[in-house]
Structure formats: structure tokens, C-alpha cells
A and B are shown apart, each in its own frame.
Chain A
Amino acid sequence: AQKITQTQPGMFVQEKEAVTLDCTYDTSDQSYGLFWYKQPSSGEMIFLIYQGSYDEQNATEGRYSLNFQKARKSANLVISASQLGDSAMYFCAMSPIKAAGNKLTFGGGTRVLVKP
């Protein structure tokens, strides 16, 4: 079984500053993938970034970076230079890496509000 824990229910961040969203996970799988999704108030789920457990380097996608610490089982999302449009719910998720599809397990989410 897999479990994702996001301990920050909500956060405020000043526009143009960086923010770190915490995510810890638990799994017995040797190979797994970690994902972050954004859910704005409109409700859609938007993929942000992916990290494989076998990746030696931390993933980056534009203003998003993933601080992956395998020994600590953490996969924190860092958003640099926050923008007003970054206000949303953010979900950390993981899945085992298998041939027949990946079934994501989601955390409870962190709500981010960017202040002007």
C-alpha cells in the first residue's frame, strides 16, 4: 500500500517570493513515480512535474522544481517567483512504476494563496 502525506493544509505566500510545499510518502515498491498536480478554483487537474525514484537529479519544469530526498521519502515542490495565478490547491501523488498503467495515490492537498 502507498500513502502520501501533505502536512500543510494552507499557506500564504507573497507575490514574487518562493514557496515550498511539503510531501512525504510511504511505499514498499522499489520503483515509483512522484507527481505534483495543481487544481485551481475552476476545478481542473493540471500536471506540473514528475520525478522518478531512479532519477539522480531533481526534476525542474520552468518555475517548478521538485526537491527529492529519497532517504527521507520526501518530494517537496518548490514554486519560485510566485504569481497571483499560482493560487490553487496542490496535490502530491505517487504510483508504482509498472507496465500496465499507473494508479496514482493522492495526498490531501495544500491550498496556496498568493498575496499581491
Chain B
Amino acid sequence: NAGVTQTPKFRILKIGQSMTLQCTQDMNHNYMYWYRQDPGMGLKLIYYSVGAGITDKGEVPNGYNVSRSTTEDFPLRLELAAPSQTSVYFCASSYRARGRVGANVLTFGAGSRLTVL
């Protein structure tokens, strides 16, 4: 059981380049999320999805795009990379905790460290 898998783990981009961070989960979770974590800070929500074909913006969506064509995959696209997008990116998926109505415990991937120079 792999859980949430993110690729690549590390990437260096030049300003203006584009790339896609891949995320896949094998737990059949409906909900998936992308967060970014800047150095010494907490995580901020970029985009989320409540199911295949449905996505919505989070707190910091500018400069990113997502798609959700399958339950398993939730790629994050960076267009025209900027130094401000240097961060660690976490993909997560969630389920409803046993016996806890309304609790969606997020399972996170290992993170992708992106540097834009």
C-alpha cells in the first residue's frame, strides 16, 4: 500500500519554465489537495478536489493549475515559474475518520522540493 506518491522529489526550474508535479494515491480517497510550505512556515492550500472532474481554488492558487481526470491522480501544473514559487509542495488525500462524523484526516505525500532560479 503506497499511500500518496509524489514525483519528482526535487526539481530546479529556471524562471519562466513550466512543469507538472505528479500525485497519485491508491487508497480510493475522494478528496485530494495540494499544499505549499515555505521555509519555516505552515502549509497553505493551493487547490483541492472533491472527486474526479471537480476542482476548486484554495488560499494561494495564482500561478498554478490542476486537473482531476481520475480518482487516483491529481497533478499540479506550474506555468511560467517564478522565484516566489520556490517551496516544498505536498499532495494529500483524505478519508472520513472512523467513528468521527465530519473528520477528514489528511494523508500526505513525502513532498516535492521545487527551486526556481
Contact = CB atoms under 8 A, between A and B. Distances in A.
Partners in one complex: yes
Given A44-B110, A106-B43, A52 B90 contact: no
Most buried by A among B42, B43, B100: B42
B30 interface: yes
Contact of A33 (B49, B90, B103): B103
Interface string A67-105: 000000000000000000000000101010110111111
Q: Do most interface residues of chain B lie in helix, strand or loop, or is the interface mixed?
A: strand
Nearest to A59: B100
A105 B58 CA distance: 10
A59 B105 CA distance: 14
Given A45-B90, A95-B104, A103 B45 contact: yes
A102 B106 CA distance: 9
Contacts of A104: 33, 43, 45, 106
Size class of the A contact interface (CB-based, 8 Å) = 20 to 34
Contacts of A106: 42-44
Contact of B48 (A4, A97, A101, A108): A101
A47 interface: yes
A106 B108 CA distance: 14
B107 interface: yes
A47 B42 contact: no
11 contacts: A43-B111, A45-B90, A45-B108, A93-B43, A97-B101, A101-B48, A103-B48, A104-B45, A105-B45, A105-B59, A109-B41
Interface of A: 4, 31, 33, 35, 43-45, 47, 50, 52, 91, 93, 95, 97-98, 100-109
Ranked 3 nearest A-B pairs via Cβ: A97-B102, A106-B42, A102-B104
